[in-house]
Amino acid sequence: MALTAKNFAYDVLVNPRHTKWIAPLLILGDALLCALVIWKISYTEIDWTTYMQQISLYKSGERNYPLIKGSTGPLVYPAAHVYIYTLLYHLTDEGRDILLGQALFAALYLVTLIVVVACYRQTGAPPYLFPLLALSKRLHSIFVLRMFNDGVAAFAMWVAIYLCLKRRWTAGIAVWSFGVAVKMTLVLLVPAIAITTLLSLGLARSVSLGAMAILIQVLLAVPFLQTNATGYFSRAFELSRQFMFKWTVNWRFVGEETFLSREFSLGLLVLHMSLLAIFLASWVKPSGTNMLGFLQNTLQGRQPTVQLSKSFTMTVMLSSLAIGLLCARSLHYQFFAYLAWATPFLLWRAGLHPVLIYALWALQEWAWNVYPSTNASSAVVVLTLAAQVFGVLFAGPGRVEKNRGSTRSKTPVR
């Protein structure tokens, strides 16, 4: 009897078929947790008032992006951010109804969690990962205590991933582009989107989807482009932004002088490009050729399309995100909205033992909850990100996909 109970418990932990009843319980439990957080923990004012001040200027007719400012600084997010917070401005009595705002963000958190759980289920992830999706203190804080726009962008990211897993590429890329127009952090998924669409759809379709994504950005920005196009792009996609050492979560341990140096910035850029090149060589393995052969065949229209597994597609998407976060010069606390739900999956795909997965998750959670960050916490942030990136690299997503037997079409893309 004891052995049977033990076997059942083990089956519940590792058999994906149990997620169909574990998932609803997880979401219900997290809904109660969100309510408890709102009830017991005081709201934290950081950017909400500034968002509302900026929207007030937009509502008054201001369309010159550099002139839209709030008490903590200028508007530095793309146009979709403005539209989302304009809606919230109306729903929350111009931002004064904080409790309603928190309730709306709790709902956003739960809907995002539902999509994340659906993605995990699509990829056959084991049930023992699921508790980690609902236990993050920092993640709850980002959504329901601070109401950052990163929650909205993270929702768009996961919906886009889910649609791509379902091979609804047009809808997926459209939602992803909308997410980029909320916060440009989602640009980190570009390499993954490029390679998965090229593998799955071929060159012509991939280019058309890329053009659609750009068109969405333009259409969303039209009211601001008509007034001051240069001002819009310089603010909404500010690539030359100077990072402040005192707010960094990740690279504090290198010291302020190194952190602010041009050499450090260039070094991280080189590392980012190098890691992407290494991963791309692995990502193209389902095509049956190497990177050079894949590029040549794709450009010449001779590369057969590949039906990628859902697990492989999600691994590529989240690996691209993790590489970008690892090589970012400065991460702020709200960036955890993108990483938190990706970590359990990446550690699982790295082939780590469940105990080690839980240990690394706990270390990462601790590090992101240390405020202000310290040398120790920032080092842990970098090391846990590195564990995810290099763990997946050494596990070889391309080899896994090949071994599982992807299906290639017999008709070359014309």
pLDDT tens digit string along 213-271? 999 999 999 999 999 999 999 998 876 666 788 889 999 999 999 999 999 999 999 99
Q: For residue 5, what pLDDT is reported?
A: 80
408 pairs with which residues across the strands?
Answer: 306
DSSP letters spanning 367-400 = HHT-SS--HHHHHHHHHHHHHHHHHHHHH-HHHH
Say how far apart CA 82 and CA 224 lie, in whole Å: 11
**H/E stretch holding 407:** strand 407-408
Q: For residue 106, what pLDDT is reported?
A: 98
Positions of the chain with pLDDT under 70: 1-3, 239-242, 396-414
Q: For residue 8, what pLDDT is reported?
A: 87
CA-based nearest residue to 294, from 204, 205, 199: 199
pLDDT tens digit string along 31-41? 999 999 999 99
DSSP letters spanning 228-273 = HHHHHHHHHT-TTPPPPGGG-SSSGGG-HHHHH-HHHHHHHHHHHH
Q: Is residue 275 within 8 Å of 163, Cβ to Cβ?
A: no
Judge if pTM exceeds 0.85: yes
Structure tokens at 340: 């938190």
Q: For residue 2, what pLDDT is reported?
A: 53
Q: For residue 397, what pLDDT is reported?
A: 55
Domain ranges of the chain: 24-238+248-408
